[in-house]
Structure 1
């Protein structure tokens, strides 16, 4: 198995190669999908378009919508994708649609038929363990932001890579935690009073959930 790493979605070949993909959007789509499944969501369906997401809610009994665009709320959506706000709602056995500026866009660009996993700093070790059970090449994809590299996504990719390469015993993750904390997105969250979100992201490997795309929906 060959493991490829890219620092932005746009560096994935088009069309996407025959491989397993791990989409990493640490702040915040990847982490939100992990937390939604931990909270008991029946499944999480990613969207790249707000109208399509709203149609899904109209057509799907008990569905909820989680999302943001450009860091702002989306009309008709029920909840922000910040994990601390997700924790305040009951998602038990609810179908959930999610729309974010970068992470869900990455899923749609790679393609809904591709084997896609969701990775973040909170489930990096679990993702690496799952990858060891698969055959074929793997692409660890830092989603980035509209074509630009983001330090937190690159840190998430590197954490998964280190776990997969069994380097965990020989490194301390302080450098990657600093990379997350010092990112522009983390500073923006801190300015809004969500420093707790950033610190949760820097508490690595707290989740065993590995979201997998099945029929257009992420399930554990």
Structure 2
């Protein structure tokens, strides 16, 4: 679906990664997987990680660690991954020894969307907390796709909310933070986090536009722009 214009470029959006056109166009992409991987990439780089390499396959991530001594964080289907060092919950990142180290990241949806697009593409990571900075970062591109990752083919409200916030900034009129926060708090993913005792994760996601850091893929890894 075509949406707002960024400077002289065109912005499209999809509410789940499966709706990306094939072949994938030669354009810039913003992958939005609010809970969990987009916010985690932001937090990892904020914590001083050298870079974050996304993976869609656990064995490839483990091989990467064997070659680089990287720290691995990940989940599959919401469960921990054998041989990985930590969960990708954003609030846990501050306790991880990632400063000046490479990090490998595997997730059920966000890193799968990145793999679908292709690691040779110009990919940014967007979420609720860096939405304004992401919008500013992509304004000079001729064509940009805002990609809500979704969950295994389903549209999820928190990713759509993140895309809405970025798209709104591109239009010059972001949707009200209070309304988006209520949407996020009411999603099944938020309820899952609440049941696990991680309600603070939900509230942190509602701190819209609080971070200026924008992860961008360079030579297959995410670095801070």
Higher strand content, 1 or 2: 2
Match of 1:57 in 2: 65
Residues 160-199 of structure 1: per-residue CA shift (max 9 Å, x gap): 000111114xx52212111111110110000000000000
Output the CA distance in 2 between the equivalents of 1:173 and 1:135.
Answer: 26
Output the CA distance in 1 between the equivalents of 2:205 and 2:93.
Answer: 15
Tell me, yes or no, if structure 1 residue 136 matches structure 2 residue 142.
Answer: yes
Q: Once superposed, which parts of structure 1, at least 4 consecutive aligned residues long, lie more than 4 Å away?
A: none
Match of 1:85 in 2: 92
Structure 1: runs of 5+ lacking an equivalent: none
Equivalent in 156, 173, 180 of residue 150 of structure 1: 156
Output the CA distance in 2 between the equivalents of 1:37 and 1:86.
Answer: 10
* Number of aligned residue pairs: 216
Residues 28-85 of structure 1: per-residue CA shift (max 9 Å, x gap): 000000000000000000000000000000011x310011011111011111001111
Instruction: Give the TM-score taking structure 2 as reference length.
Output: 0.94
The root-mean-square deviation of aligned C-alpha atoms, in Å, is: 0.8
Q: Give secondary structure in 2 for the equivalent of 1:112.
A: coil
**1:90 deviation in Å?**
2.4
Q: Give secondary structure in 1 for the equivalent of 2:12.
A: strand
Output the CA distance in 2 between the equivalents of 1:14 and 1:218.
Answer: 24
1:1-220 matched pairs, under 5 angstroms: 1-60=9-68, 62-132=69-139, 134-168=140-174, 171-220=175-224
Bigger shift: 88-97 or 25-34? 88-97
Structure 2: runs of 5+ lacking an equivalent: 1-8
